[in-house]
Amino acid sequence: PFTVRGNAVVSWVQPTGGSVLGGSRVVVRGSGFAASPLFFCRFGNVVVPPEIVIDATKAVCAAPAHAAGVVSVEVTNNNADYSSDGAQFEYHAVPRVLGISPKSGPVSGGTVVSVVGESLGDETSSVWCRFGEESEAVMGVRTAGGSLACPTPAHVAGFAVLQVSLN
């Protein structure tokens, strides 16, 4: 039998950006979502299955890899007719840390580390800094000249790799 469904509508997505490498878990909000095997998300022209359709207003999809730039995020209930609402997701180049200062601090944290790098986003991007795999991400602050200021969290003594993310 043929099933008639209402049109799915995308109102917004969160986060609104992620890495060109893909993998960001994107919450898609809207209406008319159907939890069926024919529900898909589309980032630009790349179609991906949802991780989960939570209810008629919320789904979670992993952003696929894509070139840097802005794409529309749309959904379908029948793997054929997509929404056309234009919620946008921006793909960012992978941030690259070129230098930090100072290079050490106390285990109690609180040292503000100046970070110089490439593809650190623009003034509208949220920037997160993580000192080592096990630490919590902390929000970085943009400073003059395009560098970042990242406060160190408390950390066990030893070496910690600094990672910067835009989502």
* pLDDT band, very low/low/confident/very high, at 94 (cuts 50, 70, 90): confident
CB 23 within 8 A of CB 62: yes
Alpha carbon 17 to chain centroid, angstroms: 5
Query: Is 70 exceeded by the pLDDT of residue 4?
Result: no
Q: The whole model's pTM is what?
A: 0.75
Chain-wide mean pLDDT for the chain? 91
Query: Is 90 exceeded by the pLDDT of residue 6?
Result: no
pLDDT one-digit tens code per residue, 113-162: 999 988 887 776 788 999 988 788 899 988 877 789 999 998 889 998 99
Q: Rounded CA gap, 119 and 136, in Å?
A: 22
CB 75 within 8 A of CB 40: yes
